[in-house]
Amino acid sequence: MATEENKSDAAGSGTQSESQKGWVYLPLIAGWLVPGGGHFLLRKWGRGALLAAVILGMFVMGLTMQGKVYAGVHDILDILGLAGDLGNGLPYLLARMMGVGADQVLVTTADYGTRFIVVAGLLNVIAAVDAHNLRTGRKS
């Protein structure tokens, strides 16, 4: 599959650029683990920096609003929240290890913060898929 994609890329653009080399799913995984990392791998420095700033900014802002970091799952909404949080990749794991974020929503802004953290994860997934699309040539 990856080899076929590589061949079609090469056929379409003549020669493969430096950023198009390597495992085809690497930008996707790097982009998930580190916000903007997939774009950095593809040498899209500006886009990567902007994505990293926005996603990390939203994540940190969510934490400073005392947003809840989902750890255990108790009902279906918690599962969805945890799935969104996991989209943040390493920042989520670091937050869990450092014990930042609230266990319970106690103030109004904490509810906003919880949504900020979940949406930062979802936006990070979109950014990682975008890096994958750039890598496969689906997007230029």
Partner 1 sequence: MGNAIFQPSHFAAVVLFALFASTVFGITQRETPPRMIRYGIYCFVLFVASAIVLSWVMYFIAR
Q: Which residues make up the interface to partner 1 (CB under 8 A)? A: 47, 50-51, 54-55, 57-58, 60-61, 63-66, 98, 100, 107, 109, 112-113, 115-116, 119-120, 123, 126-127, 129-130, 139-140
Tokens 């650029």 belong to 17
Query: CB within 8 A of 50, min separation 6: which ones?
Result: 36
Shortest Å distance, C-beta 95 to partner 1: 9
In angstroms, what is the minimal distance from the CB of 3 to partner 1? Answer: 26
User: Which of residues 6 and 66 has its CB atom nearest to partner 1 in the complex?
Assistant: 66
CB neighbours of 20 closer than 8 A, spacing ≥ 6? 6, 9, 42, 135, 137
Q: Which residue, among 21, 22, 40, has the nearest Cα to 31 in the 3D structure?
A: 40
Task: Return the number of the residue (69 or 70) whose C-beta is nearest partner 1.
Answer: 69
Within 8 A by CB and 6+ apart from 39, the residues are 27, 31, 45, 47, 48, 51, 127, 130, 131, 134
Nearer to partner 1, 43 or 73 (CB): 43
Q: Judged by CB, which is closer to partner 1: 16, or 64?
A: 64
